[in-house]
Amino acid sequence: MPDSSLARLKEVFSLFLKLGLTAFGGPAAHISIMHDEVVTRRKWLTDQQFLDLLGATNLIPGPNSTEMAIHLGYLRAGWWGLIAGGLGFIVPATLIVMALAWAYTEFGTLPQAGWLLYGIKPVVIAIIIQALWNLGGKAIKNIPTALVMAVIMGLYFLGINELVLLFGGGLVMMLVSNLRRLRAPTAGAMLLPLGGTIITAVASITTAIPFSLPLMFLTFLKIGSVLYGSGYVLLAFLRADFVAQYGWLTDAQLMDAIAIGQVTPGPLFTTATFIGYQLSGVPGALLATLGIFLPSFIFVAISHPFIPRLRASPWFGALLDGVNAAALGLMAAVTWQIGRASLVDPLTILIALTALILLLRFRVNSTWLIAGGALAGLISSVFH
């Protein structure tokens, strides 16, 4: 490898390693930090190029901020940069979450740890509501997208599989938005994949089954391969598989996993690392992490050369609009479910409302709010 290429590779890895250790606040905050680092400070690319990459991450499944790290690494240092950017951003958070998962396993049942999470969980609910509010302004563009969101939310409560809802919402919007372009043979061909998805989803058996490392890996691989939208949509998929279908986690354990993902820097998808550790120690953590992030590397490698063409397509653009609206519906439905498990008394409701006001009105950094929730939980433990 030439010296200039090696220097760029080191530059990519060191930057995203730093961000993986320090970037708190969720995908929107991560992307803002990346913009400051690579456009404003380092001038690797222009604002328009950055926006094009950001648009591309919305057209493929997976965590947006992680895929931005992979895209930027690829742009700066080629194929090795693709790997270095992704690993630099993911590995620090993975190691931190594994350490916290070990501590949770050892001390999670102690009153101190329980009260910490008691105060953090309401803040997490507020952060998710803020994400819904902010994303809703962009995703709900017209009456059809609003209807898709509302219908998807209602169907989720009826027990319809989340994959059917996500892709169904996307396909409905794509068809509605392109009615004039439709021809009978094309429409029939496009509906075949949806039929296959529905048959596969309906065929799944929603009964508790014994834990299996290969099944856990394949489940996270599936989630990483199909999940669109904000990282918080991850909640819907995790709950559908690990709580409702397999019975490996409870709602309370899932909220603990999400809370741990929130208090650490880097991608929220390292929640998978925590769940994997709880289910099967270090091997489970590593396999879960590999399963959920591997598709992002593959999708970025495939899509990167086609970025200029994708958003301009009326078909792909409408599909994305529908998927985003459906993702918001899933987020809203799951937020209601996990909120019932987290807002258990007047104090937790007060913490959530206070956090929501501070987020929406004063734009307080979510890291400080999580720290405040933990402090409130500890203080409340003194009086119990």
Tens digits of per-residue pLDDT, 171-199?
999 999 888 776 544 444 443 343 333 33
Q: Look-up: residue for tokens 């879960």?
A: 288
Flag whether 199 is in a domain. yes
User: Is residue 368 domain-resident?
Assistant: yes
Residue 160 covered by a domain:
yes
pLDDT of residue 84: 97
- Which of 47-56, 126-135, 292-301, 361-370 is modeled with the greatest confidence? 292-301
Within a domain: 94: no
Is residue 242 in some structural domain? yes
Q: Please name the residues in contact with 349: beta carbons below 8 A apart, sequence gap of 6 or more.
A: 122, 343
Tell me the C-alpha distance between 135 and 120, whole Å. Answer: 23
> In this model, does residue 98 exceed pLDDT 60?
yes
Q: What's 26's DSSP letter?
A: -
Q: What pLDDT score was predicted for residue 205?
A: 44
The stretches of the chain forming alpha helices (DSSP H) are 3-22, 27-35, 47-59, 64-107, 111-139, 143-157, 162-177, 184-203, 213-226, 234-238, 251-262, 271-303, 307-310, 314-342, 346-362, 366-382
Burial of 219 (0-12, 13-18, 19+ CB in 10 A): buried
What is the tens place of the pLDDT at every residue in 302-346? 988 876 676 678 888 888 788 888 888 888 888 898 788 889 899
112, 378 Cβ separation under 8 angstroms? yes
- φ, ψ dihedrals at 383, nearest 5°: -95, 10
Q: Could you tell me if residue 88 is inside a domain? A: no
Question: Using one digit for the tens of pLDDT, what is the confidence trace for 268-291?
Answer: 899 999 999 999 999 999 999 999
What CA–CA distance (Å, rounded) separates 215 from 278? 15
Rounded CA-CA distance 149/137 in Å is 13
Residue 267 lies in a domain: yes
Lowest-confidence region among 5-19, 48-62, 74-88, 353-367: 48-62
Task: Tell me how many domains the chain contains.
Answer: 1
On whether residue 33 sits in a domain, the answer given is no
Q: Average model confidence (pLDDT) for the chain?
A: 84
Which range marks the domain in which residue 134 is found? 110-382
* 161 CA to centre of own chain: 18
Cβ–Cβ < 8 Å for 170, 323: yes
